Amino acid sequence: MASAQTAVVTGAGSGIGQACAVGLARQGYRVAVADVRPDASATTAAMIHEQGGEALSLAVDVSDSASVQRGFDRIVGQWGGVKVLVNNAGIVHQSLLEHLSDEDWHRVLDVNLTGMFYMARAAIPLLRAEGSGGRIVNISSVLSTVTRPLNGPYSASKGGVNAMTRALALELAPSCITVNAVAPGHILTPLTVPMFTPAVTRAFEERIPLGYLGQAEWIADAVLFLVSPEAHYITGQVLFVDGGYNINGDLPNLEFGR
């Protein structure tokens, strides 16, 4: 990059968001590290500083539009503008839909979908002010298309992320701002490590065509590509980074009749 540009990453205190923030800083971006847990965003910002990068640690709750606006005000005060938004913050709440409370339904939708809307809405005027080449990348999930019982609210929120990605891509295309989603498969992060018991890990290794769980850095690699100049003609897409999980309709250990 000719001169340092600003990237904002939500949920950057952990897992995939942290890998994106560190990766963007290595590419020369000044990174606004936003997380609802200030200690976590401070840790990621310190990692970036240790590697010689520029970071601003922000306490932002993406589900609260006033908190989102305060975060952007600090970024503009410090650095003047925004070129890249990585909408990554997300939560999981496992429950059958029939037993799910109003509160738990709204919490998942508020963070995973409405939070991405609040962030994008606040970022759009800043992205436009930078001229063409702005980027939004939303972190969706393979569970936006294939799903499992207990993941109803999560899948609904991520299906909404895919739809909103396409709508935003159309609305921002005239400004040459691209909007895409990355849909991770099963990635080892603090969110999922408790779920991946040895039996669950073995079952996923059998079900994932490439045969292994993913790492946060591999999702960050896809995000770094989508924000790069080389990806300027890609918009409104959902890129699955899942070892092939979403295409696997195989029935293993069966011989089919002819």
Ligand X SMILES: NC(=O)c1ccc[n+]([C@@H]2O[C@H](COP(=O)([O-])OP(=O)(O)OC[C@H]3O[C@@H](n4cnc5c(N)ncnc54)[C@H](O)[C@@H]3O)[C@@H](O)[C@H]2O)c1
Q: Which residues bind ligand X (CB under 6 A)?
A: 10-11, 13-17, 35-37, 40, 60-63, 88-91, 111, 115, 139, 141, 184, 186-187, 189-192
Distance (Å, whole) CA 137 – CA 117: 12
Q: Which is nearer to ligand X, 197 or 253 (CB)?
A: 197
CB 235 within 8 A of CB 159: no
Which residue number, 178 or 189, has a Cβ lying nearer to ligand X? 189
**Cβ-based burial of 127 (10 A; exposed 0-12, middle 13-18, buried ≥19):** buried
DSSP states of 5-48: -EEEEETTTSHHHHHHHHHHHHTT-EEEEEESSHHHHHHHHHHH
Nearer to ligand X, 76 or 109 (CB): 109
Give 93 or 186: the residue with its C-beta nearer to ligand X. 186
Q: Smallest gap, in angstroms, from Cβ of residue 40 to ligand X? A: 5
Question: At closest approach, how far in Å is the CB of 169 from ligand X?
Answer: 19
Find, among 180, 181, 163, the residue nearest to 233 by Cα.
Answer: 180
Closest to 85 in 3D by CA, of 24, 140, 22: 24
In the bound complex, what is the minimum distance in angstroms from residue 233's beta carbon to ligand X? 25
Residue 141: strand, helix, or coil: coil
CA distance 249 to 167: 29
Smallest distance from ligand X to CB 228, Å = 20
Catalytic residues: 154
Distance, CA of 28 to CA of 18 (rounded, Å): 16
Least gap, CB of 66 to ligand X (angstroms): 13
